[in-house]
Structure 1
Amino acid sequence: MTLCIYDDQIFGRERLNGHYGVGAFVVGNTLSSIPYLFLISLIPGAIAYYLVGLQKSIEHFTFFALLLFVTMMLVESLMMMVASIVPDFLMGIITGAGIQGVMMLNGGFFRLPNDLPNPFWRYPMYYIAFHKYANQGFYKNEFEGLTFPNPQQGANSSISGDEILKSVWQVETGYSKWVDIDILFGMVVVYRLMFFGIVKLVEKVKPMLKKRVGSSKQTSPIVEI
C-alpha cells in the first residue's frame, strides 16, 4: 500500500510536468511489477508447495505458481485503485483490507457456496470475489485425478477427488482449472482498466474541487472580533 501511494504521488508530480500521461503510467506500472511478482510467486511458492506435500508434477506446480502470480497482480491492482481514491496511508490500508476481507468471507472457503445468503453475499459478491476462482482452481489442481480412502463407507472403500470437489468443497466442475486462471487474468485486465478510469476521473475532478473550495474561501465574509 505504501508503494502504491508513493507511485501515485510520483505520477502526480510527473503528470503536472507533462512527462507522460495516464495510459503510459498504467502500462509502465503493470510491466514493471510483473518480474518482481513472478519471482515472488516462483521462489517462495516452490518452497511452500513442496514442503506441504502437494502433487509434485511440473504441470501442477506451474499452475500453482501462475495462480499465485495472478492473485498477487489482482491484489496489487486493487490496492492501486484504492490508493488513487484514498491517498491517506492509514485510510488506504483500512479500505483495501476491508474490501479484501469482504471478498474472502464469500470466496467459498470460510462459508461453502450453498451456505452463503442469497440477496447480497451469494449474488453478486460470490461471483465478483476473485478468491472464488483462486480457491476453485487450487482445489481442482490438487484433487482432480486422485483417489482417497473413504473410511466412512468401509475399510476398503475409496472416494475420487472429483467427488470430493463436488460434495465436500462444492466446486463448479463444469469447466477446467485453466478456465479459472483465465478468468483471473481477465479480472486483472478489468482491474487495470478500472484503475485507468479512476485516475483519469480523479485528474479531472480534483482541480474542479480545488477551484470550488478556493472560490468559496474568497467569497466568505471575514468576521472580526
Structure 2
Amino acid sequence: MYRDLGYYWLRFAIYIALCLCVGTIFHDVGHSYGSIQARGSMLMFVAAFLTFMAIGGFPSFVEDMKIFGRERLNGHYGVTAFTIVNTLSATPYLALISVIPGVIAYYLVGLQRSIDHFIYFALMLFMCMMLVEGLMMIVASIVPDFLMGIITGAGIQGVMMLNGGFFRLSNDLPKPVWRYPMYYIAFHKYANQGFYKNEFLGLIFPNTQAGGPPTINGDEILRETWQVEMGYSKWIDLVILFGMVILYRLMFLGIVTTVEKVKPMIKSLMVKAAEKSKHIMEQSSFETMA
C-alpha cells in the first residue's frame, strides 16, 4: 500500500487540496447567525464528500483480492488473517489523512479551538474513513469488475448521503423505506450528528429572526435547526460508527468465506449438469442411429 502511488500518495495530496479549498471557502466563519448554516455545510462536506473519496482506493482493493485469491489457493494464509492484516495495514494511512488534512480544514474554518474538540473531529473523520474502506472491501468481494465496483460503491454511498439528515431533515424524510430503516442504516446520520454536537454545543449565536430571543444557543440549534437526536452524547455516535466498522469487516469475512464454500459446489453442479446433458445427447443420438 505504501508503494502504491495512486492509493497512498495521490489520495493524500487530493485530501490536502480539498481541505485547503474547504478551509479557504469557509475561512473564519465567525459567530454570526449566517455562520450556523456555513458550519453545518462544512461539516456535512467533511462527513460525506471527503469519505466519498475513499472510492478511489477501489482499484487497489480489486488487486488485493486477486493476490489474496491466488495466495489463498496456495494455502499461505486464511480469510481471517487477510481481513485483520488488511485492516491494520490501512489504519496508519487513514489516520494520517484524517489528522493532517483535517487540521488544515478545522483551523482555517475557525471551528471550536479547544484541543479536545479537534481530537473528536479527527477521530470521527478517521472512523468514517475506516467504515467506507470496509464498505468498499465488501463491494470488491462481491463485484470484482473495476468499473461495476466503482459504480456500485458510489451508488451505495449516494443513497446513504441522501438519508444522512442534511439534504432532507430527519422529520421530513418519508417514513417508509427512507426514514425506517435507511436513515438508521446510513452512517452519515451518526457522522453528521457527532460533528454537529461537537461543534454547536457550548456556542451562542445572535438571533436575527423577528420576534425571537436576542440569542440562540447550540442546544436549540441542534434540536430545531438540524433536528439532531439529543438523547445521547456525541461519543455514542462515535461508538456506533466503530461498531459499524467492525460489522462491515465481519460482513466481508462472511462473504469471502461463503463464496469459498459455495463456489466449488456451484462448479460441481455445473459439471454434473453438463455431463448429464452430454449423456442424454449421446443416448438420443444412439437411439436415432438405431
Q: TM-score range by the shorter chain?
A: over 0.9
Most deviating of 132-141 and 50-59: 50-59
Are the counterparts in 2 of residues 137 and 181 from structure 1 also a CA contact under 8 Å? yes
1:186-197 aligned within 5 A: 186-197=243-254
Deviation at 1:174, TM superposition (A): 1.2
Give the unaligned 5+ runs of structure 2: 1-57, 283-290
Q: Partners of 2:163 and 2:241 in 1: how far apart?
A: 16
Q: Partners of 2:213 and 2:244 in 1: how far apart?
A: 44
Report the secondary structure of 1:108's partner residue: coil
Give the aligned partner of residue 148 of structure 2.
91
The answer on 1:12 being equivalent to 2:69 is: yes
1:198-217 aligned within 5 A: 198-217=255-274
The answer on 1:177 being equivalent to 2:270 is: no
The AA in structure 1 aligned to 2:67 is: I
Q: Partners of 2:99 and 2:270 in 1: how far apart?
A: 49
Q: Partners of 1:212 and 1:155 in 2: how far apart?
A: 72
Q: Partners of 1:30 and 1:104 in 2: how far apart?
A: 24
Give the aligned partner of residue 164 of structure 1.
221
CA gap of 1:70–1:213, structure 2 versus 1, over 3 A, is: same
The answer on 1:136 being equivalent to 2:170 is: no
Q: Partners of 2:162 and 2:189 in 1: how far apart?
A: 10
Report the secondary structure of 2:157's partner residue: helix
Over alpha carbons, which structure has the higher Rg? 2
Q: Partners of 2:173 and 2:68 in 1: how far apart?
A: 41
The AA in structure 1 aligned to 2:260 is: E
Q: Partners of 1:170 and 1:214 in 2: how far apart?
A: 57
The AA in structure 2 aligned to 1:28 is: V
Q: In the TM superposition, what whole-angstrom CA distance separates every residue of 1:83-104 from its partner, at most 9, and x where no partner exists?
A: 0011111111111111111111
Q: Partners of 1:135 and 1:155 in 2: how far apart?
A: 27
Deviation at 1:183, TM superposition (A): 0.6
Q: Partners of 1:217 and 1:69 in 2: how far apart?
A: 50
The AA in structure 2 aligned to 1:27 is: I
Q: Partners of 2:268 and 2:139 in 1: how far apart?
A: 24
Give the aligned partner of residue 34 of structure 1.
91
Q: Partners of 2:65 and 2:145 in 1: how far apart?
A: 11
Q: In the TM superposition, what whole-angstrom CA distance separates every residue of 1:183-206 from its partner, at most 9, and x where no partner exists?
A: 100111111111110110111112
Give the unaligned 5+ runs of structure 1: none
Q: Partners of 2:124 and 2:195 in 1: how far apart?
A: 8
Q: Partners of 1:182 and 1:135 in 2: how far apart?
A: 14
The alignment's C-alpha RMSD in Å is 1.8
CA gap of 1:155–1:207, structure 2 versus 1, over 3 A, is: closer
Report the secondary structure of 2:181's partner residue: helix
Give the aligned partner of residue 150 of structure 1.
207
Give the aligned partner of residue 48 of structure 1.
105
The answer on 1:71 being equivalent to 2:123 is: no
Q: In the TM superposition, what whole-angstrom CA distance separates every residue of 1:156-176 from its partner, at most 9, and x where no partner exists?
A: 810001100000000011111
The AA in structure 2 aligned to 1:7 is: D
CA gap of 1:114–1:29, structure 2 versus 1, over 3 A, is: same
Deviation at 1:211, TM superposition (A): 2.8
Number of equivalences:
224
TM score, norm. by length of structure 1: 0.94
Q: Partners of 1:146 and 1:187 in 2: how far apart?
A: 30
Q: Partners of 1:111 and 1:219 in 2: how far apart?
A: 57
The AA in structure 1 aligned to 2:219 is: D
Are the counterparts in 2 of residues 8 and 83 from structure 1 also a CA contact under 8 Å? yes
Give the aligned partner of residue 116 of structure 1.
173
